[in-house]
Amino acid sequence: MIKPFSVDIFRYYRGIFKTKWDKYIEIPNLISCKIESIGNPYEEGFGVGVPYPFDIPEELHPYPDTYIKGSAHYGNFYNNEGSVFVYIPKCWLKVDWTQEPSILVKDWDYFVDEAAANAEGYILMEGFIDGGIPKGFYIYKYKASKIAKGTGYVAGSVKNGKPISTASNHNPISELTACAGNYYYESINAAHAIDGENGEINPNSKYFVTTNGQYAILAMLSLAIPKDAIYCAWRDLTKHYPKGCNNNALSDVDDTSILYIWDGYEDPPGTPKYSALTGSCNQLAKTSHNGQLCGVLDLNGDMYEIALGLTCVGSTKAITGITKENPAVVTSSGHGLTTGTIIGISGVVGMTQANDKAYKITVIDENSFSLDTVDSTAWTEYTSGGTIYFGTYYNKKRNYSPKFWTPGNTGANDHWGATGVANWGEAITLNFNTTHPNNGIGQKFGNATNAVFSNAVTGNNYKLTCNSLPLEAGISTTGTDKLGKDYYYQYIGRNEMCCLRCYSWGLCSSAGVFGMNLSNNRSHSGYNVSFRACCFPD
SS3 of 514, please?
A: strand
**Separation of CA 219 from chain center:** 8
Question: If we measure between CA atoms, which residue out of 424, 393, 432 comes closest to residue 408?
Answer: 424
Cα–Cα dist 160/276, whole Å: 8
In this structure, are residues 409 and 416 in contact, taking their beta carbons and an 8 Å threshold? yes
In this structure, are residues 409 and 440 in contact, taking their beta carbons and an 8 Å threshold? no
Cα–Cα dist 469/486, whole Å: 12
Cis peptide before 53 (omega within 30 of 0): no
- What's the pLDDT score for residue 24? 45
Cα–Cα dist 138/128, whole Å: 11
- What's the pLDDT score for residue 4? 40
- What's the pLDDT score for residue 27? 57
Question: If we measure between CA atoms, which residue out of 120, 125, 298 comes closest to residue 221?
Answer: 125
Question: If we measure between CA atoms, which residue out of 315, 258, 270, 293 comes closest to residue 505?
Answer: 258
- What's the pLDDT score for residue 26? 54
Q: Class of 318-375 per CATH? A: mainly beta
Cα–Cα dist 406/399, whole Å: 17
In this structure, are residues 99 and 81 in contact, taking their beta carbons and an 8 Å threshold? no
Helix, strand and coil in the chain, % to nearest 5:
15, 30, 60
State which amino acid sits at residue 205.
Answer: S
Cis peptide before 437 (omega within 30 of 0): yes
Run of H or E residues at 420: helix 418-424
In this structure, are residues 469 and 436 in contact, taking their beta carbons and an 8 Å threshold? no
Strands 499-502, 512-517: pairing kind: antiparallel
In this structure, are residues 363 and 369 in contact, taking their beta carbons and an 8 Å threshold? yes
SS3 of 274, please?
A: coil
- Tens of pLDDT along the chain (538 residues)? 343 433 343 333 334 444 444 444 455 555 457 899 999 999 999 999 999 988 999 999 999 999 999 999 999 999 999 999 999 999 999 999 999 999 999 999 999 999 999 999 999 999 999 999 999 999 999 999 999 999 999 999 999 999 999 999 999 999 999 999 999 999 999 999 999 999 999 999 999 999 999 999 999 999 999 999 999 999 999 999 999 999 999 999 999 999 999 999 999 999 999 999 999 999 999 999 999 999 999 999 999 999 999 999 999 999 999 999 999 999 999 999 999 999 999 999 999 999 999 999 999 999 999 999 999 999 999 999 999 999 999 999 999 999 999 999 999 999 999 999 999 999 999 999 999 999 999 999 999 999 999 999 999 999 999 999 999 999 999 999 999 999 999 999 999 999 999 999 999 899 999 999 999 999 999 999 999 999 999 8
∠ Cα 485 490 491 (to 5°): 145
Neighbours of 340 (CB within 10 A): 11
Q: At what angle do helices 212-223 and 459-466 cross, to 10 degrees?
A: 80
CA contacts within 13 A on the Cβ side of 360:
13
In this structure, are residues 302 and 245 in contact, taking their beta carbons and an 8 Å threshold? yes
Question: If we measure between CA atoms, which residue out of 78, 109, 142 comes closest to residue 9?
Answer: 109
314 φ, ψ (degrees, to nearest 5)? -105, 160
State which amino acid sits at residue 333.
Answer: S
CA contacts within 13 A on the Cβ side of 107:
18
- What's the pLDDT score for residue 200? 99
Q: pTM score, two decimals?
A: 0.95
Cα–Cα dist 160/440, whole Å: 38
| Residue 381, C-beta contacts closer than 8 angstroms, at least 6 positions apart | 324, 350, 351
